[in-house]
Chains A and B, each alone.
Chain A
Amino acid sequence: MLARCFRISARISEVDPLILRLMAAVEPMISAERLLSLELAAIEALTNVVLHGCAGQPDAIIQVELSANPDGLSLLISDPGVPMKDGLFENALDLDQIDPSSESGRGLATIKACADVVVYTRKADRNSLTLTFRSGRNP
C-alpha cells in the first residue's frame, strides 16, 4: 500500500498548491475521470475546513494522507477545527436538490457526488474526513 502525507496551514491560498501536489502524486494511479472526482472532492473538503472548521485559525495545521490499494485511493483529511454537526454529510442535499440559483452550499453535495464513501469522525480534538475513491466509478 502506497501512502503519502501533505500538510498545509488553514489559509485558502494554500489549498490550490496542495491540490496540485496531491494531483501530481495521484495521477499515475488513477484514470483521468476519477482524477477529476478526487480533485474536486479534495478541493471542496479542504475549502470547507479552511473557511468553516478552522475559520479564524490560519495557523492550524491541516493534514492530508493519501493511501492507495488495489481497490482504489483514499484521502484522510484531518484538522483541529470545530467539530462538524452530527449527520452533516448524511443529511446534506444532493446536487439535484440544490436550487440552481443558489450561490453557495454545493460543497458537501459535490463531495458526496464525487467520492464513493465519505466518513467523518472526531478523535482527540481533531476532525477526520475519509474520502474513498474506488477504481472505475464516475459521478
Chain B
Amino acid sequence: MITTNYHADGICVIAPQFERLTAANADSFKTEVLALIQEGRTRMVIDFARVSMVDSSGIGALVGLLKKVGNRGEIAISALSDNVAQVFRITRMDRVFKIFPDSHGALSSMDT
C-alpha cells in the first residue's frame, strides 16, 4: 500500500498508493510505516500526491506515527490535495504537522 524512496541523507519518502486514508485502511497504513520506524527510519516525508481523502482515523494514524518518531526524528507531509489540506485545517492538524507543497520542498527543508 506504500512505496518508499530512500535518500542518501537517510530520509525516507513514503508514498501511499491508495486514494483514501480512512478507517478501512488506516491501521494497515500505520503498521507499514511503523515497521520502517522500527528499522530506524525516523526521518520521513509522507507524500500524499495520490491521496484524495483522509478521515479522522487517517489523521489518528498520522498522529500515532508522529508520536512514535518523537524527538528521534521528524515527519513532514507533502502534496496535499485541496480536500486533504482542508481536512487538516478542520482537524487542526495544519498546526501539528510540517506541510509542504511537494516532496522536494519537504526534503530541502529537512536537509537544513
Instruction: Report which A residues bind B (CB closer than 8 A).
Output: 12-13, 15-16, 32-33, 36, 39-40, 43-44, 47, 50-51, 95-96, 98, 100-104, 106-107, 110, 113-114, 139
Could you show 21 A-B contacts with beta carbons less than 8 Å apart? A13-B24, A15-B24, A16-B20, A16-B22, A32-B82, A36-B83, A36-B87, A40-B87, A43-B53, A47-B22, A96-B92, A100-B63, A102-B63, A103-B60, A103-B61, A104-B60, A106-B56, A107-B56, A110-B91, A114-B90, A139-B90
Point out which of B67, B90, B92 has the most chain A C-beta atoms below 10 A from its C-beta: B90
Whether B102 sits at the interface, judged by CB under 8 Å, is: no
Q: Is the CB of B86 within 8 A of A33?
A: yes
Task: Tally B residues with Cβ within 8 Å of A.
Answer: 24
Instruction: Report which B residues bind A (CB closer than 8 A).
Output: 20, 22-24, 53, 55-57, 59-61, 63-64, 67, 82-83, 86-87, 90-93, 95-96
Q: Which residues of A contact B56 (CB under 8 A)?
A: 44, 47, 104, 106-107, 110
Q: Which residues of A contact B60 (CB under 8 A)?
A: 102-104, 106
* Shortest CB distance B88–A (Å): 11
How many angstroms between the C-alpha atoms of A106 and B90 in the bound complex?
A: 10
**Smallest Cβ-Cβ distance to B84: which chain A residue:** A36
